[in-house]
Chains A and B, each alone.
Chain A
Amino acid sequence: MAGQTLYDKLWQQHLVKERDDGTALIYIDRQLLHEVTSPQAFEGLRIAGRQPWRLDANLATPDHNVPTTVKERAEGNTGIKDPVSLIQVQTLDDNCDAFGIEEFRINDPRQGIVHVVGPEQGATLPGMTVVCGDSHTATHGAFAALAHGIGTSEVEHVLATQCLLAQKMKNMQVRVEGTLGQGVTAKDVVLAIIGEIGTAGGTGYAIEFAGSAIQSLTMEGRMTVCNMAIEAGARVGLIAVDDTTIDYLAGRPFAPTAEQWEAAVADWRQLVSDADAAFDKVVTIAAESIEPQVSWGTSPEMVTGVSGEVPDPAQAADDTARTGITRALEYMGLAPRQKITDIRLDKVFIGSCTNSRIEDLREAAKVARGRKVADSVQLAMVVPGSGLVKRQAEQEGLDKVFIEAGFEWREPGCSMCLAMNADKLGAGEHCASTSNRNFEGRQGYGGRTHLVSPAMAAAAAIAGHFVDVRSFDSTTARQEA
């Protein structure tokens, strides 16, 4: 019998019941909650007179609507000026109080973007099933946890039953083999993968990312890759457990200690695909072929290397693709065959659950140190993923590096990733963004998003247009302090 994939093992370990029609009940170990997709779920529980099945499986924090400016944040919930946003955050607080769910509130130092907070607390552990009413829950798969983004009805279902109704997915393996070039990061890897397989390439699959280039990534980098599995169409992204995973978890608040730690580690070591496991689809990419990536269109698959150019619709493969490219170029205000490095930026956003962890901030700071944001850039902002990331960055002096270079240093939250709070693009503005979606209007009505890595975003802020970080260091002098 062929061996099992990592996904098969996780599925097996959580299977409560399988129905004849292939639907299964799987047990959920951890549910993360935020203010946007939970109110209707709690309301549903109340209407039906149901109680949560297991309180300690849940952990909540507001992130999407919270202001990121220091002054507003100092005021707590009252600093939320938009009354509708305020109600949503208050509703989460009230629901967590009423049902007895642990919540990191707006000014708790542990508050942050759910997908940064869970791993940072050790609330995401290898071998868990993790759900959240948010598609970027795929992030947690970096820990060999089976993590699904779910809808609000499913949030309610998990609250009430501790189970999710699911159907087994197919197995895909994406192997990135070789050594990543200097200046090429996890973000470039995942954008290149999406460029290769397309935004629907992973639909119906759980994608396991493997290969030497993936193994060489830190946990932060692995989370960046798994985070964007959803942009490749897959609900689930996974990476096998190794020493990097285990070292990251030691000492985290929710992680096991003492003898339990030993037993857990022994168990976690099994969370790898067997050598003879069969995948339904395997895609292999050479790490050396990946250069820093920049998205030019309105879908994450519309991406190319920084040395490349915007495509010409005339060369499109079929009619649907041609219309898609034409529409995207029109929305983005770009011309066919325009060079990527000729795209000028109005705003720069470093943050989001894709790239707001300490390592991301370090990489951006490395580029920004001793330099200045270009005058033509109206706003360059850095938004740490959590209060703890912010504190760590400040201990390392990164906040000063950013501030001296002309970046704004903000409080943690989703911020301009989706612009539900006050941080937005204006119509027609181009933004170099470390987030994960470049859909029309995503960062503000009429806004134009280009997805890049933190280092590329920082370099673009300084140059005022996209530049290749690999050559940037030697060609752009730093100012003497």
Chain B
Amino acid sequence: MQKFERLEGLVAPMDRANVDTDLIIPKQFLKSIKRTGFGVNLFDELRYLDEGQPGQDVSQRPLNPDFVLNQPRYQGAKVLLARRNFGCGSSREHAPWALEDFGFRVVIAPSFADIFYNNAFKNGILLITLGEDQVDRLFAEVHANEGYCLDVDLEHQRVTTPSGEILEFEVDAFRKHCLLEGLDDIGITLQDEDAIAAFESRHRAARPWLFREPAKA
């Protein structure tokens, strides 16, 4: 996993609530058996005027000029500003893969859906939850100022606006640690291999029916 320490990045606004994972990456792109290459299809239905297909050359497709990520002023954005319940819907990890592949490393919103929250952190994306008022204000500032950047500092858990205002945020210690160090969860868990094996044998003894092989058909 890619480390995340600190980032100063251009902010793009996604001004709608309940952005679901189908919208982040439509299902036809879930057919890939790879983890990469989803960035060109991020928000596919909003970004292009036609219906996209996997493996298609996107340079030939008509862009929706009204969609925010197509506007010149937001090219190269690394921070996505969003509304409540971002990432709701399916558990597809393709959603954070697409965000990351597109270049977003941070999403700021008043709330996130649970599974998406987990998936994003496992892919090196920092999700920052701020109050509705703070998010409202950021939207206003982004709209008003072309080239609006935020300085995101994970170590100190704060976001600094161009005017020097500091917004503090919460993040749980384990996720923070993994992100700062770029650590792989599996490796960390396997350090507890003995504890898992010991638990498993107690569990098997107490509830053997949970370990049954199926009856032969």
- Residues on A lying within 8 angstroms of B by beta carbon are 13-14, 16-17, 19-23, 25, 27, 29, 36-37, 39-40, 43, 48, 50, 53-54, 56, 64-65, 82, 84-85, 87-88, 91, 102, 110, 121-123, 125, 127-128, 133-135, 149-154, 156-157, 160-163, 165, 167, 199-200, 203-204, 230, 233-235, 253-257, 260-261, 263-264, 267, 299, 320, 323-324, 327, 418-420, 437, 439-442, 445-446
Contacts and interface: CB of A to CB of B under 8 A. Distances in A.
B185 interface: yes
B22 A441 contact: yes
A257 B215 contact: yes
Contacts of B92: 36-37, 151
B51 A43 contact: no
Given A157-B186, A445-B45, 15 more contacts: A13-B203, A16-B192, A17-B195, A20-B173, A36-B30, A40-B35, A40-B93, A121-B214, A128-B210, A157-B189, A256-B212, A264-B209, A420-B27, A441-B45, A445-B26
A233 B114 contact: yes
A153 B209 contact: no
Given A16-B196, A235-B114, A442-B22, A151 B93 contact: yes
Contacts, number: 200
Contacts of A260: 208-209, 212
Nearest to B192: A17
Nearest to B52: A445
B119 interface: yes
B101 interface: no
A162 B113 contact: no
Interface stretch (B2-10, B12-20, B59-67): B12-20
Interface stretch (B80-88, B144-152, B161-169): B80-88
13 contacts: A13-B203, A17-B195, A21-B172, A27-B203, A54-B200, A127-B210, A151-B92, A151-B119, A154-B118, A156-B186, A199-B18, A199-B88, A445-B51
Contacts of A19: 174
Interface in B117-151: 118-119, 122-123
A161 B214 contact: no
B54 interface: yes
A162 B196 contact: yes
B47 to A, nearest CB: 13
Contacts of A163: 189, 196
Contact of A199 (B23, B55, B85, B186): B85
B27 A16 contact: no
Contacts of B193: 161
Interface residues of B, number: 61
Contacts of B207: 127, 264, 267
B101 to A, nearest CB: 13
A82 B35 CA distance: 20
Contacts of B89: 135, 437, 439
Contacts of B45: 440-441, 445
Interface in B16-47: 16-18, 20, 22-23, 26-28, 30-35, 45
Contact of A154 (B33, B90, B122, B192): B122
Contact of B18 (A16, A84, A110, A299): A299
Contacts of A65: 31
B83 A87 contact: no
A43 to B, nearest CB: 7
A19 B208 CA distance: 27
Contacts of A203: 85, 111, 113-114
A200 B111 CA distance: 9
A25 B34 contact: no
A223 to B, nearest CB: 18
A123 B33 contact: no
A422 to B, nearest CB: 12
Contacts of A27: 196, 199-200, 203
A292 B91 CA distance: 28
Interface in B183-204: 185-186, 189-190, 192-193, 195-196, 199-200, 203
Contact of B211 (A56, A165, A200, A418): A56
Contacts of B27: 418-420, 442
Contact of A233 (B85, B209, B211): B85
